């Protein structure tokens, strides 16, 4: 088979056909890793040096005319609004943002406030060099979701900007984005978004104590995401992310997944397909009890297939047997044990194990099971080199 470009290799694999060789990549490359282990080089340098199949992540919002909405004048994201989780926020006179920097001896600490005519929503965030996490969630009282329903803005995709960036990226690799999250701190899936603004423990309890309220919240979030998805028609994305780790069986039961997750996200996948987009469903955690349930939502691909050695439950060979004819499998590699503390030969053996478990017939993209903060360059080199020797 003739050598493919990385984009051709990815898209052939996502369509569950055999490419020229096993596609090999990584999930988000953390800035701290590039700074501390890679001499401050950028993500393109990282992919080029290792010879991995590269991925670009881009998001860009637009404001629909006649809505009274506008870009938040106080928000100045990187890359002119094209950052991964930081496109330009869309505000209105009834949905305004205010950020307060708070004193903290060890971390950056901020209060993110959304102001509406009937009251404010506020969230407390703390950030270190590795990550950002929530100390206090937006939803304090159940009636707070009424503020979202009445006043939330509805960003749409800036198709022209996305297509300009996609054309510039060309055949270099996969061009990815994600479904619209909630402002400030959210994620693509309806359930995952709700977990970010309510708190996962409280959200789980409310599925028993007040399921109607949970369904109402999920419907509000879904409505906003559906409107965004409809605006994606014509956008030259290769793949868009949906889902989130709080929908995994490491966190919730299959029953909760099938009542509160699948119905809402399945509708988003259907809408994305109608808009001409492909979807990867992201579940960084337990997956085995709900493999068929996720596949039944009809995503084009699923990730991250985290193995038991990293705290999840995935048996890659069994997953391939059960759903490999329905979706592309992305992930499966144990970066905790094979990017640090082992020999290059150990890493190569793990690559081969993954390929033998899930590579047959195509439909498998080798990738670490989510991002990483530490990795030995020698082991990354072995990872990339051995994967490129996995030929169909």
Residue 51: left if φ>0, alpha if ψ -120 to 50, beta else—which one?
left
Q: What share of the chain is helix, strand, coil (3-state, %, to 5)?
A: 40, 20, 40
Return the pLDDT at 85. 56
CA atoms lying within 13 Å on the CB side of residue 316:
31
CA distances 157 to 169, 235, 273, 276, Å, are 18, 8, 16, 14
- Which residues neighbour 253 within 8 Å (Cβ) at sequence distance 6 or greater? none
Peptide bond before residue 187 is cis, with ω within 30 degrees of 0: no
Burial environment of residue 267 by CB neighbours within 10 A (0 to 12, 13 to 18, 19 or more): middle
Return the pLDDT at 28. 87
Give the other-Cβ count within 10 Å of 107's Cβ. Answer: 15
Task: Judge contact between 153 and 69, C-beta under 8 A.
Answer: yes
For 31-76, write each residue's pLDDT tens digit. Answer: 888 988 888 889 999 999 999 999 999 999 999 999 999 999 988 7
Quote the crossing angle between the two packed helices 190-198 and 200-209, to the nearest 10°. 110
Residue 25: left if φ>0, alpha if ψ -120 to 50, beta else—which one?
beta
Opening angle at CA 342, ends 340 and 343, nearest 5 = 120
**Could you tell me the two tokens for 202?**
């409280």
Return the pLDDT at 44. 92
**Could you tell me the two tokens for 384?**
């990339």
CA atoms lying within 13 Å on the CB side of residue 114:
23
- Give the phi and the psi of residue 70 in degrees, each rounded to 5: -155, 165
Return the pLDDT at 207. 98
- Report, as ranges of residue numbers, the positions in the chain whose pLDDT lies below 50: 79-84
Return the pLDDT at 78. 56
Task: Judge contact between 279 and 242, C-beta under 8 A.
Answer: yes
> Which residue reads 């209060």 in tokens?
111
Return the pLDDT at 81. 36
Rounded Cα–Cα distance for residues 257 and 252 (Å):
7
Rounded Cα–Cα distance for residues 321 and 310 (Å):
21
Residue 19: left if φ>0, alpha if ψ -120 to 50, beta else—which one?
beta
Length of the chain as a residue count:
392
Return the pLDDT at 130. 83
Return the pLDDT at 151. 98
Give the domains, in start order, of the chain with CATH numbers: 6-69+153-388 (3.20.20.210)
Q: Could you tell me which of 127, 132, 133, 130 has the C-alpha nearest to residue 32?
A: 130
Rounded Cα–Cα distance for residues 59 and 162 (Å):
7
**Pairing mode of beta strands 90-92, 69-71:** antiparallel
């Amino acid at each position: 088979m003739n050598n493919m470009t990385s984009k051709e290799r990815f898209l052939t694999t996502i369509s569950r056909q055999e490419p020229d060789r096993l596609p090999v990549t990584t999930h988000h490359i953390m800035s701290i890793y590039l700074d501390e282990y890679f001499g401050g080089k950028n993500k393109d340098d990282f992919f080029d040096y290792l010879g991995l199949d590269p991925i670009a992540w881009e998001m860009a919002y637009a404001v629909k005319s006649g809505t009274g909405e506008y870009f938040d004048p106080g928000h100045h994201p990187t890359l002119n609004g094209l950052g991964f989780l930081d496109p330009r926020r869309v505000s209105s006179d009834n949905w305004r943002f205010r950020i307060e920097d708070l004193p903290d001896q060890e971390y950056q600490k901020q209060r993110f406030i959304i102001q509406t005519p009937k009251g404010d929503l506020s969230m407390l965030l703390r950030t270190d060099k590795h990550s950002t996490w929530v100390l206090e969630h937006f939803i304090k009282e159940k009636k707070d979701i009424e503020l979202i329903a009445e006043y939330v803005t509805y960003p749409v995709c800036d198709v022209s900007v996305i297509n300009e960036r996609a054309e510039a990226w060309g055949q270099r690799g996969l061009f990815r984005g994600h479904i619209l999250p909630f402002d400030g701190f959210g994620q693509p899936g309806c359930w995952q978004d709700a977990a970010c603004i309510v708190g996962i423990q409280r959200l789980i309890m409310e599925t028993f104590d007040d399921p109607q309220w949970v369904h109402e919240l999920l419907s509000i979030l879904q409505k906003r995401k559906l409107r965004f998805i409809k605006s994606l028609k014509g956008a030259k994305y290769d793949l868009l992310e949906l889902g989130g780790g709080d929908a995994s069986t490491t966190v919730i039961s299959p029953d909760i997944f099938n009542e509160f997750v699948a119905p809402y996200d399945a509708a988003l996948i259907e809408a994305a397909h109608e808009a001409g987009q492909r979807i990867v469903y992201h579940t960084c955690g337990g997956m085995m009890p709900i493999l068929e349930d996720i596949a039944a939502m009809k995503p084009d691909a699923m990730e991250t297939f985290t193995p038991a050695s990293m705290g999840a439950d995935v048996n890659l060979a069994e997953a391939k047997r059960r759903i490999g004819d329905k979706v592309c499998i992305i992930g499966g590699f144990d970066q905790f044990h094979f990017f640090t503390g082992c020999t290059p030969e150990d890493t190569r053996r793990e690559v081969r194990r993954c390929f033998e478990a899930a590579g047959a017939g195509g439909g498998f993209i080798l990738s670490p099971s989510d991002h990483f903060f530490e990795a030995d360059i020698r082991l990354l080199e072995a990872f990339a080199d051995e994967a490129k020797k996995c030929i169909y």
